[in-house]
Amino acid sequence: MPKVLTFSRTFPAYHPKAGQPTNFVEKITKNLHHLGTPPWDIPDEIFTTEIYYIVDSKRHTIRSGNRWKVGDKFSPRVWSGKPYQSKQIIIAPDIEVKKVWPVEIEFFGGSFYVQLPVKKNHWTLLSAGDVAKNDGLEVHDFIDWFKVHPKSKAFNFKGQVICWDESVIY
């Protein structure tokens, strides 16, 4: 049975773009069509054809924890209304996870770092721009999504990049 992954239809309350659309439904759909997944019906209230044709693809997602592995399947969903207080809408057929990377995102001393732990105390630094694009965001929106309040001196996020597009390489 697939796990459930919910995607936000709007930017979170702490983000400078709070409440504005993320267009993740269209971005995920675009990527899946590019990968050869046949079309499926998506309710008009959560999908805008015009947006589909102008946005880039979302090729992966980043989540906290360490519960995903290659071969897992997930059911991609969005909330019909207020998160955690409304029905979930399935936005695509179940998707297989093709790649998984551990990731650490740090904000320290005014700098933002995205890194893959290679071994103890050794990391590979990634381009925040590349990771943001593959995640379906502009780099400044990606940074604001993961960065805590601007007055904070430090922040550390540990999780996984969950990728359904085999062409993504880090």
Domain boundaries of the chain, sorted by first residue? 3-163
**Burial profile 124-154: b = 16 or more Cβ within 10 angstroms, e = fewer:** eebebeebbbbbbbebebbbbbbbeeeeeee
| Residue 156 confidence class, pLDDT cut points 50, 70, 90 | confident
Q: Which two tokens stand for residue 10?
A: 């709007």
Closest Cα to residue 147, out of 128, 124, 123? 128
Q: What is the mean pLDDT of the chain?
A: 89
Q: Which pTM was predicted? A: 0.89
Q: Which two tokens stand for residue 1?
A: 């049975």
Q: What sign has the CA pseudo-torsion 100, 104, 107, 12?
A: positive
Span 64-92, pLDDT tens digits = 999 999 999 999 999 988 888 999 999 99
Neighbours of 11 (CB within 10 A): 18
